Chains A and B, each alone.
Chain A
Amino acid sequence: DAKTTQPPSMDCAEGRAANLPCNHSTISGNEYVYWYRQIHSQGPQYIIHGLKNNETNEMASLIITEDRKSSTLILPHATLRDTAVYYCMVITGTASKLTFGTGTRLQVTL
């Protein structure tokens, strides 16, 4: 699976949009971009995934660049409950495992 690079930490004011970047410059054509988050001491929570097109669900939006070498997870109106470690991963069809890196620790503040 391709390697991903994320900033170790970010801050965001409550009510503002949180934009979390992820670099995956070695991504191949059959690899999806997945985002999970982990709130302290809980199991990881699936957020969103995509292949080429931008995706949106009730939790977030995923913007993937045209060359697919990077992506951005957008939480449109961050709340204190969004404080968590956010993991970006790329996964092939032949892989059955998720490979978690160090993620981005997002701190949402008042």
Chain B
Amino acid sequence: DAGVTQSPTHLIKTRGQHVTLRCSPISGHKSVSWYQQVLGQGPQFIFQYYEKEERGRGNFPDRFSARQFPNYSSELNVNALLLGDSALYLCASSMPGLAGGFQETQYFGPGTRLLVL
């Protein structure tokens, strides 16, 4: 079975531009989470979506937004890019438990490496 896939793998943008990153979850998984990993640090949680609804949001500005589609794939959008947005963007998918979201194991994709110049 295919794992989590992300596109593109690499991207170069300039300050002020916007970017859209895409993620396809593991087949059967209904929840998608997004993380940002700046060089030298651990991944930081941005969003989680379940059944197209936002379930959680990390401490990121409103320039960051996301959505989930009926097929459970997801897009992460970042507007007005800053140099500090340069990072590896990770998507993870999971299958929430019967309780609707508990300790579901998250499986990560390979990430999209974004460089903002």
* Contact code string A82-106 (vs B, CB < 8 Å = 1, else 0): 0001010001011111111111000
Chain B residues positioned under 8 Å from A43 (CB to CB): 4, 90, 92, 108-111
Contact residues, B48-103 vs A (CB, 8 A): 48, 50, 55-56, 58, 88, 90, 92, 99, 101-103
Q: Is the CB of B111 within 8 A of A97?
A: no
- Residue in chain A with minimal CB distance to B45: A97
Please list the residues of chain A having a beta carbon within 8 angstroms of any beta carbon in chain B.
Answer: 32, 34, 41-46, 49, 85, 87, 91, 93-103
Task: Give the interface residue-count category, chain B.
Answer: 20 to 34
A-B contacts counted at CB < 8 A amount to 60
Chain A contact surface mostly:
loop
Assess A93 versus B102: contact at CB under 8 Å? Given A43-B90, A87-B42. Answer: yes
Assess A96 versus B44: contact at CB under 8 Å? Given A43-B108, A46-B107, A49-B103. Answer: no
Please list the residues of chain B having a beta carbon within 8 angstroms of any beta carbon in chain A.
Answer: 4, 31, 33, 35, 41-45, 48, 50, 55-56, 58, 88, 90, 92, 99, 101-103, 105-111
A87→B106 CA distance, assembly (Å) = 14
Q: Is the CB of B105 within 8 A of A44?
A: no
- Residue in chain B with minimal CB distance to A41: B88
A97→B106 CA distance, assembly (Å) = 9
Q: Is the CB of B110 within 8 A of A42?
A: yes
A95→B33 CA distance, assembly (Å) = 12
Assess A97 versus B42: contact at CB under 8 Å? Given A45-B108, A46-B105, A91-B103. Answer: no
Q: Which of B55, B90, B101 contacts A44 (CB 8 A)?
A: B90
Q: Is the CB of A96 within 8 A of B105?
A: no
